[in-house]
Amino acid sequence: MIEVKKQQLQFLNILRLIVKSLFSQYKWRFIGVLFVAALAGGLQTLTPKILQQIIDLLLAGTKTLSEFWWLLPIYLFVYLGAAYFDFISGRIVYYLAMKIEDYWRFRALHHYFQLPLSWHDQHESGEIGSRIDRAGSAIFSIIAELFGHNIIVSLFTLLFILIFTFTQAPLVGLIFLLPLPLYGLVTYVLSMRIAKGQVKLNKLADRAQRTLFDATGNIRTVKSFGKEQEEVALYARRWTSYHDSDYEVERLWLRQSIFQTTIEAISRVLLLAYCVYSFVKGTLSVGQIVMFLSYQQLSFSPLALLTYIFTRVRRLVKRASQLFKIAAEPDPMADIEDAVTLPVLREGITFNHVTFRYHGKVHALKDLTFSLNKGKTVALVGRSGAGKSTIAVLALRFYDPDEGAILWDGIDIKKATRKSLRERISYIPQDSVLFNRSIYDNIAYGTKHATKEKVIRAAKMAHAHDFILKTPQGYASVVGERGVKLSGGQRQRIAIARALLAQPSLLIMDESTSHLDSETESAIQDSIRYLHGKTTQLIIAHRLSTILHADLILVVDQGKIVAAGTHQQLLRNPIYKKLYNLQFKREKPL
Ligand code: ADP
């Protein structure tokens, strides 16, 4: 796999990465493109030469047709040959551009999903999606621009023309050669400015995109506050400032074209002057003049194309760099080299002196130690912000502890593959968000070989079967974006069914704080009861009714365990007693 390093994301390095991926995966096709393009370029250089011969024969007053006949089929062959080879190289380049775009697109996306939650916390998903999208298309265009669009053919043609004219008439060769450095300079200076404009443009586009994503994602809130027009106005302001900057960049393009045309015109006049002078002196035939003029025409096309492509490629590389930035993002939680596959839990899970701060700042857990024995149900209770959910996400290894370790049958979970750990654990978050897929797919999400019978059985245990049957297409009903077509309780029950189906070694349930319908409450209680003894359970409880029968209740406060025991034992503990009374009296979640 090609390594992408964060400090190597400048223009040339990105081009190198793209060409490297092209060459390493499609070496022979790539060489084929170069070969076919050289053939097309060579043939293109021949056409003015044949034209010159025909004109000179005509002007010499040749009347014998046989002298012309053989030149015509050769002209046809050369002309068509150049065009066909050109098409072939274009077609292969299109294929390669698609493949390389896909390679980097999927690679960045794969890396994106692998990156730890601490990274995701700080990056908006909508922004990333559109970045990968735009950068992916940019990679396609870079390859199409560099190797398609006849550019290689044109470059070969230019090379052959220069060699030919320098051997025939060195002065003409010089007239052809002179615009090259000038073109290069103009292109370099202007393309740098265009690239800078592009950076600004990217930022403005991201900002506009974010605004729209934010508003469309919160359509209910927007509507409930009657803010439709304001949201459109905000987006319009941001989009317009993007378009204004876009116009600025276009003006730079125009300036570039003006410079090019000027250089081109001067060079044409120089060649004409040379031709007229040499003709009068009798050192150049009319045929040769036509030939040189045709060569000049041919030599300008790659130059114009090159400047256009160079500037465009600079823009595109800027855009593509967004994707490489993601691919280069270090993954501090990546599996270690000899990571072990976690076996089914045999003894239990231990939090051993675990200390954890969110992003190095918020002190969420302080020197926390406890064990979850196999088959037992452990409940965490405590005030909001005490650190309960943090315990759950650390067990899932969404984050790593700053100090201490979490042991799975004595194995530090840092030393296990993330995939095996997550396969052994089912997690029911507080607010279960579903995929915009069918109910069946949502339940079967975490299970490799789910059968219909097993899905239905799990749904029945989670008290979800009856309401599922009442939806328009039953198990095939699609739940809407983030599951909006279902109520919070229904979503939670589907999440419970998903967890029950997966038969995990450890079930982590973050009970909802909001008021649950009685059906969902009993679904939670039944599943806890059903799994008791079969599966190790860690329950973040907001209702004491759910956990009265837990084997162990841990009272968490300010990142520490302040009391532990069964419900009966804990009733003697003042903090627990306070929580109990609070709930008992107000009938509110803790
Ligand atoms: P509980 O589940 O008991 O309500 P949490 O474990 O969610 O508590 O939170 C513990 C502490 O960590 C709180 O101070 C909370 O504000 C903070 N916290 C939780 N999640 C994050 C996060 N993603 N980034 C920063 N701080 C967080």
| Ligand 1 mean position, distance from CA 385 (Å) | 5
Q: What is the DSSP string of 224-245?
A: HTT-HHHHHHHHHHHHHHHHHH
* Parallel/antiparallel/unpaired status of strands 552-557 and 536-540: unpaired
| Ligand 1 mean position, distance from CA 474 (Å) | 37
Distance CA 410, CA 347 (A): 9
Query: CA-CA distances (angstroms) from residue 419 to 320, 400, 423?
Result: 30, 15, 6
Distance CA 150, CA 146 (A): 9
Distance CA 462, CA 465 (A): 8
Distance CA 278, CA 202 (A): 54
Distance CA 310, CA 142 (A): 10
Pocket test for ligand 1, best of 357, 362, 558 (most atoms within 8 A of CB): 362
Q: What tens digit of pLDDT does each residue of 313-347 get?
A: 888 898 899 899 999 988 888 888 899 999 899 99
Supply the residue whose CA is at minimum distance from atom 19 of ligand 1: 390
589 band by pLDDT with thresholds 50, 70 and 90: very low
| Ligand 1 mean position, distance from CA 391 (Å) | 10
Q: State percent of the chain over pLDDT 70.
A: 97
| Ligand 1 mean position, distance from CA 559 (Å) | 10
Determine the angle formed by the axes of helices 170-177 and 179-217, rounding to 10 degrees.
30
Task: Please give the number of the atom of ligand 1 that sits closest to the Cα of 556.
Answer: 3
Q: What is the DSSP string of 325-351?
A: HHHHS--TTSPPTTPBPPPPPSSEEEE
The single-letter code of the amino acid at 561 is I
Task: Please give the number of the atom of ligand 1 that sits closest to the Cα of 393.
Answer: 6
Task: Please give the number of the atom of ligand 1 that sits closest to the Cα of 387.
Answer: 6
Of 430, 390, 539, 395, nearest in space to 552 by CA: 539
The dihedrals phi and psi of 9, each to the nearest 5 degrees, come to -115, 40
Encoding tokens for residue 572?
Answer: 């003697």
pLDDT mean over 520-529: 80
Distance CA 456, CA 475 (A): 9
Q: What tens digit of pLDDT does each residue of 224-276 get?
A: 888 899 999 999 999 999 999 999 989 988 888 888 888 889 998 999 999 99
- Check residue 355 and give its pLDDT: 95
Distance CA 421, CA 249 (A): 50
* pLDDT score of 504 more than 50: yes
Pocket test for ligand 1, best of 351, 363, 390 (most atoms within 8 A of CB): 390
Of 572, 522, 506, 515, nearest in space to 542 by CA: 515
Distance CA 555, CA 484 (A): 34
| Ligand 1 mean position, distance from CA 392 (Å) | 11
Supply the residue whose CA is at minimum distance from atom 10 of ligand 1: 387
Q: Identify the bridge partners of residue 350 per DSSP, sorted by sequence position.
A: 371, 407
Q: What tens digit of pLDDT does each residue of 5-41 get?
A: 877 778 889 999 999 999 999 999 999 998 998 898 8
pLDDT mean over 105-133: 85
- Check residue 84 and give its pLDDT: 93
| Ligand 1 mean position, distance from CA 537 (Å) | 21
pLDDT mean over 106-128: 84
166 band by pLDDT with thresholds 50, 70 and 90: very high
Question: Residue 476 belongs to what H/E stretch?
Answer: none
- Check residue 584 and give its pLDDT: 62
Question: Residue 512 belongs to what H/E stretch?
Answer: none
Of 54, 99, 97, 98, nearest in space to 74 by CA: 54
Task: Please give the number of the atom of ligand 1 that sits closest to the Cα of 391.
Answer: 6
- Check residue 67 and give its pLDDT: 77
423 band by pLDDT with thresholds 50, 70 and 90: confident
pLDDT mean over 355-367: 89
Encoding tokens for residue 505?
Answer: 């070694």
Distance CA 474, CA 181 (A): 70
Supply the residue whose CA is at minimum distance from atom 25 of ligand 1: 358
Where does ligand 1 bind, in terms of residues with CB under 6 Å?
Answer: 121, 358, 362, 364, 382, 384-390
Supply the residue whose CA is at minimum distance from atom 5 of ligand 1: 387
- Check residue 27 and give its pLDDT: 94
Contacts of 441 (CB under 8 A, 6+ apart): 435
pLDDT mean across residues, the chain: 87
- Helical segments of 169-227, H only: 170-177, 179-217, 219-224
Question: Residue 401 belongs to what H/E stretch?
Answer: none
Radius of gyration of the chain (CA): 35
Supply the residue whose CA is at minimum distance from atom 6 of ligand 1: 387
| Ligand 1 mean position, distance from CA 80 (Å) | 70
Q: State percent of the chain over pLDDT 90.
A: 39
Task: Please give the number of the atom of ligand 1 that sits closest to the Cα of 386.
Answer: 3
Supply the residue whose CA is at minimum distance from atom 13 of ligand 1: 385
Task: Please give the number of the atom of ligand 1 that sits closest to the Cα of 392.
Answer: 6
pTM of the predicted structure, to 2 decimals: 0.73
Of 142, 24, 36, 21, nearest in space to 92 by CA: 36
Task: Please give the number of the atom of ligand 1 that sits closest to the Cα of 540.
Answer: 2
| Ligand 1 mean position, distance from CA 495 (Å) | 22
| Ligand 1 mean position, distance from CA 109 (Å) | 28
| Ligand 1 mean position, distance from CA 383 (Å) | 11
| Ligand 1 mean position, distance from CA 358 (Å) | 8
80 band by pLDDT with thresholds 50, 70 and 90: very high
* pLDDT score of 588 more than 50: no
Task: Please give the number of the atom of ligand 1 that sits closest to the Cα of 121.
Answer: 23
Supply the residue whose CA is at minimum distance from atom 12 of ligand 1: 364
User: Coil, strand, or helix at residue 296?
Assistant: helix
Laid out side by side, the sheet with 403-408 consists of 362-373, 348-358, 403-408, 411-412
Contact 377, 349 (CB under 8 A): no
* pLDDT score of 582 more than 90: no
* pLDDT score of 436 more than 90: no
Contacts of 558 (CB under 8 A, 6+ apart): 366, 386, 387
Contact 373, 536 (CB under 8 A): yes
Contact 39, 83 (CB under 8 A): no
| Ligand 1 mean position, distance from CA 241 (Å) | 38
Supply the residue whose CA is at minimum distance from atom 27 of ligand 1: 358
Pocket test for ligand 1, best of 120, 351, 354, 358 (most atoms within 8 A of CB): 358
Task: Please give the number of the atom of ligand 1 that sits closest to the Cα of 383.
Answer: 3
| Ligand 1 mean position, distance from CA 390 (Å) | 6
107 band by pLDDT with thresholds 50, 70 and 90: very high
Distance CA 394, CA 538 (A): 12
| Ligand 1 mean position, distance from CA 361 (Å) | 11
| Ligand 1 mean position, distance from CA 369 (Å) | 18
Q: Identify the bridge partners of residue 565 per DSSP, sorted by sequence position.
A: 553
141 band by pLDDT with thresholds 50, 70 and 90: very high
Of 77, 76, 96, 94, nearest in space to 150 by CA: 94
* Parallel/antiparallel/unpaired status of strands 560-565 and 552-557: antiparallel
Task: Please give the number of the atom of ligand 1 that sits closest to the Cα of 390.
Answer: 6
